[in-house]
Amino acid sequence: MTRLIFLGPPGAGKGTQAQTLAGHLNIPHISTGEILRQAMKEQTHLGIKAQNYVNSGELVPDQLVQDLVQERLKQPDAENGWILDGFPRKVTQAAFLEELLERIHQSGERVVNLDAPDDVVVERLLTRGRKDDTEEVIRRRLEVYRAETEPLIDYYRDRQKLLTVNGNQSQEDVTSELQQVITS
Ligand code: ADP
């Protein structure tokens, strides 16, 4: 049973690696950013509530993402494992997730910290060209990452759940390092 949380700055390659690994393991890749962008495209209630936050690089309110993660993890395909990408992004969300996983009997999760230096991630994001990938919004997302999300590295290290992978290498090398750390 594989339950993994991917941590790391925007542009570290979380999405790509999470998708590849989830494909290999045949488990769902759950990206809160993807779910929010899809909801924005469809202009659902969730999308409309989230769009100003997403487009300016701010975190959307906890309640919105917590509800969507809770709903998603209760789907039948999540019973066999999952990779969470983009959640949790702050300590309050991590505490929520811990409690949720216990409640739905899905504990035993491990956390992969995919690390890469600032100049590398900014360069990658600028060439990706998503709507929230303008220089100003990228800078804001990195600030939010440092302030809100980075503390989760210590949070999960303290709970002995943390694995670290070097994101500053080729996509293929990240994939094989990742395979190694999760099976060792
Ligand atoms: P990246 O990894 O490039 O930062 P994501 O696709 O993970 O991009 O997230 C895009 C945006 O979606 C974030 O900047 C934020 O506005 C919103 N978002 C995604 N996940 C969360 C979350 N767990 N809590 C709050 N906001 C979130």
pLDDT tens sequence across 6-15: 999 998 999 9
What percentage of the chain has pLDDT greater than the value 70? 100
CB-based burial of residue 149 (10 Å sphere; 0-12 exposed, 13-18 middle, 19+ buried)?
Answer: buried
pLDDT for 104-163, tens place per residue? Answer: 999 999 999 999 998 999 999 999 888 899 999 999 999 999 999 999 999 999 999 999
Cβ–ligand 1 distance for 83 under 6 Å, the answer: no
Cβ–ligand 1 distance for 175 under 6 Å, the answer: no
Cβ–ligand 1 distance for 82 under 6 Å, the answer: no
> Mean pLDDT over residues 36-65, rounded?
98
Cβ–ligand 1 distance for 29 under 6 Å, the answer: no
H-type helices in 57-146, by residue range? 62-73, 91-103, 118-128, 135-144
- pLDDT at 184 > cutoff 90: no
**Looking at residue 153, what is its pLDDT?**
98
Sorted by where each starts, the structural domains of the chain and their CATH numbers stand as: 2-31+81-183 (3.40.50.300)
H-type helices in the chain, by residue range? 14-25, 32-42, 45-56, 62-73, 91-103, 118-128, 135-144, 151-158, 171-183
Max Cα separation, the chain? 43
Residue 44 C-alpha to ligand 1 middle, in angstroms? 17
Cβ–ligand 1 distance for 86 under 6 Å, the answer: yes
Residue 65 C-alpha to ligand 1 middle, in angstroms? 9
